[in-house]
Amino acid sequence: MPESVIGQLDDYVDLLGQGATHGKLTPEQVRAMARAVYELLRDTGRRPYEIAELRTDCLERTKCTTRRAGSIRGALFTATVFG
């Protein structure tokens, strides 16, 4: 996906998950989950079904100041897929 499109999506990332429900999660948890999924899709290139199959204990939040193509991001999720 072109960086210009990613930039436009990033401008509205705070809207992800608003008005959505998911089981017993609070609205804040739903928004955090939606943002995490978006960041994983954006930054790893994985397919949606691959993200959906990740176990919650395989995600680690790390601070990062750079991303591919030199874009600056405040935080980035890294994922390790367990077999």
Query: pLDDT by residue (tens digit) across 30-75?
Result: 998 899 889 888 988 889 998 888 877 776 666 654 333 333 344 4
Measured CA angle at 66 (ends 60, 71), to 5 deg: 120
More confidently predicted of 4 and 57: 4
Name the residue range of residue 42's domain: 3-79
Q: pTM of the prediction?
A: 0.66
Three-state secondary structure readout of the chain: CCHHHHHHHHHCHHHCCCCCCCCCCCHHHHHHHHHHHHHHHHHHCCCHHHHHCCCHHHEEEEECCCCHHHCCCCEEEEECCCC
Query: In total, how many domains does the chain have?
Result: 1
